[in-house]
Amino acid sequence: MAKRKKDRTSREYVHRKCRGVTAIDGPEFSALADPLANMTGTYCSECEDMFPIAEFAWADTGERISEYYERYQQQASATQRFLASRTGMFVMAAVAGVLALLGGVLVLRMPVAAVVLAGLAVIAMFALHTLLIGPMILKQVLGTSDPRQLD
């Protein structure tokens, strides 16, 4: 079971190269705090540029964010890690879009409608992943559907 912090809405991290501290909140914090999302880089407000996750540590614990990810990822199966990741989300959205496009062209024989249907399928899959699939897997693996509450 994951350790949790109650009511955390923001967090700071340190770029280990320049020692600059960046505060993060909102959806960006949720994405960075999610160890199953498979984020590969983040922004340094001091350098004003993006760098690999391995170059950053949480300011409050000193733990490298890459090590934080590894610690929590060990609790999930390969399938859970894939389904909860951004890569998994894009793959599921692409499959939904292609299937909708093929269905619209081959079954409905309406190419223009097929493109609209494919676009809607992709949007629906992004929403489904963000609102249901990702949080459900986080809850199964880490005991919380809100990654901002993890230590």
- Asked if residue 92 has pLDDT above 70, the reply is yes
Cα–Cα distances (Å) from 50 to 12, 15, 109, in that order, read 16, 10, 45
Is the pTM for the entire model greater than 0.85? no
The pair phi, psi for residue 38, each rounded to 5°, is 65, 45
* Confidence class for position 49, pLDDT limits 50, 70, 90: very high
* Confidence class for position 108, pLDDT limits 50, 70, 90: confident
For the chain, give the longest Cα–Cα distance. 59
- Write out the two tokens for 20: 């600059």
Q: Are strands 49-52 and 56-58 parallel, antiparallel or unpaired?
A: unpaired
- Asked if residue 86 has pLDDT above 60, the reply is yes
Range of lowest pLDDT (4-8, 13-17, 69-73, 137-141): 4-8
pLDDT for res 151: 86
The share of the chain scoring above pLDDT 70, in percent, equals 95
pLDDT for res 7: 67
When pLDDT is averaged across residues 58-85 and rounded to a whole number, the result is 95
Q: What share of the chain is helix, strand, coil (3-state, %, to 5)?
A: 55, 15, 30
Which of 42, 37, 35, 38 lies closest to 17, judged by CA?
42
pLDDT for res 8: 86
